[in-house]
Chains A and B, each alone.
Chain A
């Protein structure tokens, strides 16, 4: 019987410090056993439990896209015991990955639709996965316009800066990068909060879905903007965070009413969330 609690052993291939405050690091992981990589078939929006023997596990959104082969990638914010330990680990170290876990953004439904991606701070990981996935030559034709509003407090806190710059150059994706504020005279993108920039850029709600991930305060103020733009609740999709342990809907802690965020989520439409207790 397959043991869903047993992590696949992986080797850390590279560690990149993403943000100026050094609180975000991106880990590229390579499976020790090729057959494990074959089993780890995922879709953008899913997460995995990163396992460090002796420290424990943490649920982290998968930042790589299934179109990127040979590795999986996670950007980890340093908050607790496991993530702090992980931040001190080096290339070549052995750890574990368990997953993929949870549901994903509704890629089938999104086919033939325009997609508006709104992200804030370090909650851009599964959004990066989604963008890379949609921009893949195999996939790009399946989706209409892609608009991305991505904000951070300051330029140094944006993740994946080189990729952002590259996407800025493309004409098959509309990037709206913004920061709350900056003293950098060479900053050539937007300045302003994500809700304001979303309102300004006003991506059309016609035939469109919005995917929004970020700090609660950003989501709180962006949702009314999306509603104003004409996005109905069943076309606003978000991904939730919860304290998790098992990641497979068994250990009981991450529920919101009847739904386990780890298994029934983490991706929910606003329409679904409105039917659940406001306890997250």
Chain B
């Protein structure tokens, strides 16, 4: 991680001082454990604040949307897939982007580690050699890093950037023996009543803060459907009908566009596993159209282009 940080700073300093880009978007070290803050470096001096570790789970593609300057962006595998999606959806031209690709080893799940700490507080966290060393008052834990990754990271098969201008480290080995849709199949196997209840329980604590939506690079509509007032599609209360409508529609808007970066789930203040919705649609799009979002600039997203051989089984 130290090495990544050094490489990112060097590259940013070079790009900014050579005026190859106007700004560099990366992370700076957070003020509390397991958090880093998205950061905009405007000059070579500020490049020294850039930072990288296993707490960079927020997707930085979210910060380049509709920018008109020349931007370098620090991007993990999933972030680069969202950059590809952005380019395909005309949210930023490729020539304005300089991608500092980060071969990713997965991001830490702060909630899982918090559960391990069982109410005690971490003050200091170090990552090294596949271990996470967590220190706090009256506690010192050495955890196997691989066991404490965000859910999406532990099943990720695109850790390496799919599009980049330079890499900040050696490419990592992609995971192969992962079951990407175990969760989805578990839900699919439920009977309708059970499934309905599962989703009702899942979102019962939702406060409608829209952190999931706003953390998502693919949610960039100028006016989101939940904010429309004429007509008003969704009520603003926390009535289950309204909350449900929000989550269902949000998920459908992401069908064939979601890269499973996990930003939504990471952002949720209530710890709701919102990927349970998007993951199902990701699986369906893959099965129906053989499409995975953001892997290639040469292929239109499955749901924004008609192909003569598209499946038509839904027409009955």
The short answer to whether A and B are in direct contact, CB under 8 Å, is yes
**Chain A residues with a Cβ under 8 A of chain B:** 80-81
Cα(A81)–Cα(B228), bound, Å: 11
What distance in Å separates the Cβ of A239 from its nearest Cβ neighbour in chain B?
25
> B230: CB under 8 A from chain A?
yes
A245: min CB distance to chain B, Å: 12
Q: Closest approach, in angstroms, between the C-beta of B193 and any C-beta of chain A?
A: 34
Write the chain A residue with the least CB distance to B230.
Answer: A81
> Which of chain A's residues have a CB closer than 8 A to the CB of B230?
80-81
A-B contact pairs, 5 of them (CB 8 A): A80-B229, A80-B230, A81-B229, A81-B230, A81-B232
The 4 closest A-B pairs by CB, nearest first: A81-B230, A81-B229, A80-B230, A80-B229
Classify the interface of chain B: helix, strand, loop or mixed. Answer: loop
Chain A proximity of B130: nearest CB distance (Å): 49
In the assembly, what is the distance between CA of A77 and CA of B230, in Å?
Answer: 17
Beta-carbon nearest neighbor of B229 in chain A: A81
CA distance in complex: A116, B92 (Å): 53
State A81–B230 Cα separation when bound (angstroms).
Answer: 7
A80: chain B residues within 8 A (beta carbon)? 229-230
Q: Which residues of B contact A (CB under 8 A)?
A: 229-230, 232
| B229 cross-chain contacts in A, Cβ below 8 A | 80-81
Least CB distance from B170 to A in Å reads 50
- Which chain B residues lie closer than 8 Å to A81 at the CB level? 229-230, 232
**Nearest-CB distance from A280 to chain B (Å)?**
21
A15 to B43, CA, bound (A): 62
Cα–Cα distance between A80 and B229 once the two chains are bound (Å): 9
B232 to chain A: which residues have CB within 8 Å?
81
In whole angstroms, how far apart are the Cα atoms of A150 and B216 in the complex? 50
- Taking the closest CB of chain B, its distance from the CB of A5, in whole angstroms, is 17
Bound-complex Cα distance A141 to B142 (A): 87
Whole-angstrom CA separation of A81 from B229 in the bound complex: 8
Q: How far is the CB of A57 from chain B (nearest CB, A)?
A: 14
* Docked pose: A80 CA to B232 CA in angstroms: 12
User: In whole Å, how far is A101's beta carbon from the nearest beta carbon of chain B?
Assistant: 22
Give the distance in Å from the alpha carbon of A80 to the alpha carbon of B230 in the complex.
8
Roughly how many angstroms separate A81 CA and B232 CA in the complex, as a whole number? 10
Determine how close the nearest CB of chain A comes to the CB of B304; give it in whole angstroms: 32
Q: Please name the residue on chain B nearest to A56 by beta carbon.
A: B229
Q: How far is the CA of A278 from the CA of B301 in the complex (A)?
A: 44
| Bound CA–CA A186/B230 (angstroms) | 41
- Closest A residue to B231 using CB positions: A81
A5 to B232, CA, bound (A): 23
A224 to B274, CA, bound (A): 56
Smallest distance from the beta carbon of A16 to chain B beta carbons, Å?
26
In the complex, residue of chain B having the shortest beta-carbon distance to the beta carbon of A84: B230
CB distance from A209 to the nearest CB of B (A): 39
Kindly provide the distance from the CB of B102 to the nearest chain A CB, expressed in whole angstroms: 39
Task: Determine how close the nearest CB of chain B comes to the CB of A58; give it in whole angstroms.
Answer: 13
Q: How far is the CB of A56 from chain B (nearest CB, A)?
A: 10
For the complex formed, measure the closest distance between the CB of B131 and the CB atoms of chain A, giving whole angstroms. 47
Q: A214 to nearest B CB, angstroms?
A: 26
